[in-house]
Amino acid sequence: MPKSKRSKVVHLTNVEKKTKEERKQQFDNIREACDRYTTIFVFGVDNMRNTYLKDVRSHFADSRIFFSKTKVMAKALGQSASEEYQPGLADLSKYLAGNVGLLFTNRDIKEVLEYFENFSEMDFARAGVKATREFTVPAGVVYSRGGELAVEDDVPMPHSLEVTVRKWGMPTKLHQGKVMLDNDYTICRDGHTLNSHQTALLKLFGVAMAEFKIHVKAYWTASSQEVTEVQAEGAMEE
């Protein structure tokens, strides 16, 4: 007898229970890390990419990095003087807003700050971000790098891609087996928000506009039990 295709009610009780348990585990792990490490950093991330975050985790293999829900992290540290797990942590939890994480480490503070100041990776932009520069493909034969390289160092775009780039908005045509443009075509302008077609074209031409960057907002030390704010330019103030 064939299986019924009628809709079935799926109970989410087990899923909710698992989520609650995971949050509790994260809460406990963060508090355990508070006891094990001498310094806690709050860091923000621009243009989040898991691949590059894995590189950071690998670099700090002797430390602990948490990139959990901000409410869970703030609750674990304590959001007021009466709730804070250790003195001063409530002041650190104030920085837990947006795309942020926690780094627990015993490494030298200067070493950590210098690492993040010098660490960045370029990647392809995603829809919704702003272009960091104008990019225009010149008229004539369309090359694989869209004019970024000299013609003698580049190769023409495969004719099989002509339908695809036209679908993404480029007014191309095929002429004698080559992808052509009658006029220069500007894919994006500096400061303008990119849509999915623009980001697809930029990726096709190998143009990276998204910088994965970690910036430290503040840190707490067990020795002083105080929070130090880190300014955008790298200067610190007590």
How high is the pLDDT of residue 194?
A: 96
pLDDT at 76: 93
User: pTM of the full predicted structure?
Assistant: 0.75
Would you say 121 and 212 are in contact if contact means Cβ atoms under 8 Å apart?
yes
pLDDT in tens, 124-154: 999 998 999 999 999 999 999 999 999 999 9
Hey, which bits of the chain come out as E strands?
Answer: 39-46, 64-66, 100-105, 120-123, 135-137, 140-141, 172-175, 178-181, 185-188, 210-221, 226-230, 236-237
Interaxial angle between packed helices 70-77 and 13-36, expressed in degrees from 0 to 180 and rounded to the nearest 10: 50
CA dihedral 190, 193, 194, 196 (to 10 degrees): -170
pLDDT given for residue 17 in this prediction: 56
Task: Identify the pLDDT of residue 211.
Answer: 85
Counting as low any pLDDT under 70, the low residues of the chain are 1-18, 232-238
200: left (phi over 0), alpha (psi -120 to 50) or beta: alpha
Angle at 72 between CA 67 and CA 76, to 5 degrees: 105
pLDDT value of position 6: 56
pLDDT of residue 58: 93
